[in-house]
Structure 1
Amino acid sequence: MDADYGIPRELSDLQKLRSHYHPELPPCLQGTTVRVELRDATTAADPSGEHTIKRFFPHTYGQPLAHFLRATAKVPDAQIITEHPAIRVGVLFCGRQSPGGHNVIWGLHDALKVHNPKNILLGFLGGSEGLFAQKTLEITDDVLATYKNQGGYDMLGRTKDQIRTTEQVNAAMAACKALKLDGLVIIGGVTSNTDAAHLAEKFAETKCLTKVVGVPVTLNGDLKNQFVEANVGFDTICKVNSQLISNVCTDALSAEKYYYFIRLMGRKASHVALECTLQSHPNMVILGEEVAASKLTIFDITQQICDAVQARAEHDKNHGVILLPEGLIESIPEVYALLQEIHGLLRQGVSADKISSQLSPWASALFEFLPHFIRKQLLLHPESDDSAQLSQIETEKLIAHLVETEMNKRLVG
């Protein structure tokens, strides 16, 4: 076992107070008797009628949806589960860190022990790599003691996670069979839950007895849908960021001479930026979805912000706060096309210092127009899902630079 995984740690006074909080379970999950109503999921899961999902997931498509009912509910067709034979369940963290991960494991552990004290919960150390290598830690009350209500993924750790290739899927299946797991719980975001869905399909196809469960833990909030009311971690990240943004807004108002450009989490979805806007009331927010839908160029965005700055200046307001999602850079059509060319060349083995000479004429012109620091960041190798390393691209610094340049031109004019 790796040195720091699952080892009790010293808690601050605030962390100790936080660890005493016990989230309340909904009535339908309280006690050892569970009432479940099963409904057909085919139409709801694939409303287009084209059966796209069925085509890719023929063995798991159309499974009935389970609705947990209040213990007092009387539904004629409800199944009442009172017997719980001992089972073994594995759990791992995948994807990026997000608030609430430790509490998912805490809730899973408590539910297993309430229904049968002989149930076993095994945590895989180091994310998917730990799964493939069968590196486990049995989750107990002692292990959980200093991780309840605490942020981070450090109880089990994670790696650059994916369970996608044939070798990875086979390694996951081998681990589940060797450890005799009845269930495998994958905690993560969009990519991780997509991998979980494919893994469940493969397990069903090969008659593997392990059931795969994906838990939507992602601060981006981009797994919200008709089945998932809220993603674990989204509420916390928005409240924390909104408090910080509000402090910056107060600073801007106090100094009366600064504009702050703040980049927030949010790759393909700008939900965090939008929610923080509603909570903290900055002066402006640029949403990636609106930029993509309106096909706004980087010039258009610069002009919009400069127009707002100029309008505020006419009322003697020379300060403000502007929010941007990290995924904005990929929402700008011409920049996204440039990134596609760069990533294509990188995949062909072209070194970063040779990229600029092999770009198409228009892409080369855009690349040379951008500041040096952004060029360097755009040349980073893409993530495993082929997206740019958005956390490393200083979009807020780029937009601030372009706005400053344009405002200086307007002042001269």
Structure 2
Amino acid sequence: MSDINKFDIESLGASKYKSPLQLSTVKGDRIFNFVSESDRLVFDLSMEYYNQCLNGGESPVCMEKAGPRQDIFFDSKNATAAIVTCGGLCPGINNVIRGLVMALHYFYGVKKIIGIPYGYEGLNPDKGHELVELTPDKVKDIHQFGGTFLGSSRGGQDVSVMVDTLENHKVDMLFAIGGDGTLKGVNAIGGEISKRNGKISVVGIPKTIDNDIDLIDESFGFQTAFDVASPILRDAHNEATGAYNGISIIKLMGRDSGFIAASAALAMPVVNFVLIPEMDFALDGKDGFLKVLENRLHQKKHAVIVVAEGAGQQLFKEKEIVTDASGNVQHEDIGVYLKEKISEYFKGKSPVTIKYIDPSYIVRCAPANSSDSVYCSRLAYHAVHGAMAGKTKFVASRVNNRYVYIPIDQVTKKRKKIDLEGEFWFSVLQSTGQPFFLG
């Protein structure tokens, strides 16, 4: 595939039905217009890329604009939709479930919506999980709670078995809410459906609390995550300042990317050190973390340290590689390790009081805040519009602050990371006052 076509979305076929949405095709009549298949948004907005295309006589790489189409693929009143949630918990999952059900039922008149319990396990009959019927009445209040109404699990199931289940229940659309592993899984399901010449749309709604889905502005739940973490940092600061040479260590989620730790530190600017997976740091030496921490205590008599769970893994010698059911590498506990090393370093030097706080599971199961609630609803609506138009193997997402459809295989090529040369990380360093390098 050429670069110019890399964001093209696969289609199940020609759209033969008229949308039941009473929208407009006329500009200026104060009614929202249907989105045309020709509506595209430029991916790279830089002047450098603009000049490159202009000078080379090339068309820019564009993404499909998300939204309702005038012609749709499915006969909505006779269609069946299914929803599955996979992987770890994240704020906003229930908001997305609710948004999908409401949009399918009220926008398009879809009568049958199936909830798949406990992730992809629910598509394997051998697991014994019964599918549930979802109605507006059943989901109308679930947005007020964290977690997932449907239950979740990690790890994949046999793709052929899962597609058999979808076909047996005459499912026309599958909405999968999850992160990198979930999206790869639903893409594989879409591939198996294509091999069978099936006509089932598979759609991903990108969910990861770590905000590490590539290309998109951010994944839902992320804003709530650092919002919930912020008062914890405030209280940790109170603990640190309440003792002579008080040190608070707060471990936040961030397996491969440190966005929560960095954003929480910016939102609650009482943090003195942020340690993230993207940066290498040493404990020892004149420029090492422990010496810099000692200087901090000498000057201010307290310190607040925020560490992402995946930070500092290079400090663990000869560690065995262990993965979870989703294939993610299980990291050593950097928070406990730091507490031990700091305690050892200051023993016999000067008294320190160390408080270690790990609020990870409280943060991830919180209900979505207002900002995420809005985002979740809009993602759900756009996912439904795309599926009804017969698009498949795509994620509904926001890029450059506009809602678009992107092929799943484009967002799962790599994890998004903090750019250590970028303005965002520089803002964190300005807020904390920590040096560019530790060690």
- TM-score category (smaller protein): 0.5 to 0.7
Contact 1:102 1:148 in 2 (8 A): yes
Residue of structure 1 in register with 2:183 after alignment: 193
Residue of structure 2 in register with 1:140 after alignment: 135
Q: 1:382 aligns with which of 287, 304, 323?
A: 323
Contact 1:38 1:65 in 2 (8 A): no
Residue of structure 1 in register with 2:372 after alignment: none
Provide the secondary structure at the position in 1 that maps to 2:212.
coil
Instruction: Write out per-residue CA displacement over residues 165-206 of structure 1, whole angstroms, 9 at most, x where no aligned residue.
Output: xxx101110011001111111111111112222222232233
Residue of structure 1 in register with 2:302 after alignment: 319
Q: 2:221 aligns with which of 233, 252, 260?
A: 233
Residue of structure 2 in register with 1:285 after alignment: 274
Residue of structure 2 in register with 1:307 after alignment: 291
The 1:299–1:89 alpha-carbon spacing in structure 2 relative to 1, beyond 3 Å, is farther
Q: 2:242 aligns with which of 254, 258, 269?
A: 254
Q: In 2, Cα distance between the equivalents of 1:81 and 1:40?
A: 14
Provide the secondary structure at the position in 1 that maps to 2:318.
helix
Query: TM-score of the superposition, structure 1-length normalised?
Result: 0.65
Contact 2:283 2:289 in 1 (8 A): no
Residue of structure 2 in register with 1:215 after alignment: 205
Contact 1:224 1:231 in 2 (8 A): no
Q: In 1, Cα distance between the equivalents of 2:22 and 2:231?
A: 40
Q: In 2, Cα distance between the equivalents of 1:39 and 1:308?
A: 56
Query: TM-score of the superposition, structure 2-length normalised?
Result: 0.62
How far off is 1:112 after superposition? 0.7
Contact 1:84 1:116 in 2 (8 A): no
Provide the secondary structure at the position in 2 that maps to 1:202.
helix
Residue of structure 2 in register with 1:114 after alignment: 106
Which AA in structure 2 matches 1:102? Answer: N
Q: In 1, Cα distance between the equivalents of 2:219 and 2:261?
A: 15
The 1:260–1:32 alpha-carbon spacing in structure 2 relative to 1, beyond 3 Å, is farther
Question: Taking every aligned residue pair, what percent have the same amino acid on both sides?
Answer: 21
Higher helix share: 1
Whether 1:35 aligns to 2:34 is yes
Aligned residues: 301
Provide the secondary structure at the position in 2 that maps to 1:269.
coil
Segments of 5+ residues of structure 1 without an aligned counterpart are 1-28, 46-63, 72-78, 344-380
Contact 1:88 1:119 in 2 (8 A): yes
Contact 1:37 1:66 in 2 (8 A): no
RMSD in angstroms over aligned alpha carbons? 3.1
Higher relative contact order (CA 8 A, sep 6+): 2
Q: In 2, Cα distance between the equivalents of 1:290 and 1:30?
A: 52
Which AA in structure 2 matches 1:232? Answer: F
Q: In 2, Cα distance between the equivalents of 1:269 and 1:250?
A: 27
Residue of structure 1 in register with 2:318 after alignment: 338
Residue of structure 2 in register with 1:373 after alignment: none
